[in-house]
Amino acid sequence: MAYDLFLGCVIPARLPYLEVSSRKVFKKLGIELRDVDGFSCCPDPTGIELIDHETWLALGARNLSLCNNNGGVISFCSGCVETLKGVNYFINKDVDAKQKVNKYLKKIGKKYEGKTEVKHFAQVLYENLEKVKENIEKPLEGFKVAIHYGCHYLRPSEVIQWDDPFEPVTLDEIVRTLGAESIQYELKMECCGNPLDKSDRDLSLQMIDNKLKAIYEAGANCVVVVCPACYQQFEFNQRELNKKNNSEYNIPIFYLSELMALSFGFKPEELGFNFHRIKPKGLFESIGFNV
Partner 1 sequence: MSVVNYDFRNEVLKHNASLSYCYQCSTCSGGCPVALLTNGKYNPRKIIEEAILGLKDKLVESQDPNPWLCSTCQKCVELCPQKVELTEIFTLIKNLCFEEQKYPEAFYSQGKAVYDTGVAIPYSNSIVARRKKLGLPEIKIASVEEIQTLMKETNFEKNILRGNE
Residues of the shown chain interacting with partner 1 in the complex, contacts defined by CB under 8 A? 7, 9-10, 12-14, 16-17, 19-20, 23, 35, 37-41, 43-55, 58-59, 62, 103-105, 107-108, 151-152, 155-157, 165-166, 190-191, 193, 195-200, 203, 206-207, 272
The dihedral of CA 150, 161, 9, 267: what is its sign? positive
Distance CA 62, CA 64 (A): 5
Cβ(266)–Cβ(236) under 8 Å? no
Cβ(132)–Cβ(174) under 8 Å? yes
In the complex, least distance from residue 153 CB atom to partner 1, rounded to whole angstroms: 11
9 vs 180 by CB, closer to partner 1: 9
Which string of DSSP letters, residue by residue, matches 119-186?
Answer: EEHHHHHHHTHHHHHHT-SS--TT-EEEE---STTT-SHHHH-SS-SSS--HHHHHHHHTTPEEPP-T
143 vs 234 by CB, closer to partner 1: 234
In the complex, least distance from residue 100 CB atom to partner 1, rounded to whole angstroms: 9
Considering only CA atoms, which of 3, 69, 68 is closest in space to residue 30? 3
DSSP element (H, E) containing 5: strand 2-6
In the complex, least distance from residue 129 CB atom to partner 1, rounded to whole angstroms: 26
In the complex, least distance from residue 62 CB atom to partner 1, rounded to whole angstroms: 6
Per-residue CA distances from 173 to 134, 170, 176 (Å) = 15, 5, 5
In the complex, least distance from residue 97 CB atom to partner 1, rounded to whole angstroms: 11
First to last CA, the chain: 31
156 vs 179 by CB, closer to partner 1: 156
In the complex, least distance from residue 286 CB atom to partner 1, rounded to whole angstroms: 27
94 vs 285 by CB, closer to partner 1: 94
43 vs 72 by CB, closer to partner 1: 43
86 vs 252 by CB, closer to partner 1: 86
Distance CA 2, CA 68 (A): 10
58 vs 178 by CB, closer to partner 1: 58
In the complex, least distance from residue 6 CB atom to partner 1, rounded to whole angstroms: 12
Using the 8-state DSSP alphabet, how is residue 179 labeled?
Answer: T
C-beta atoms surrounding 75 within 10 Å: 26
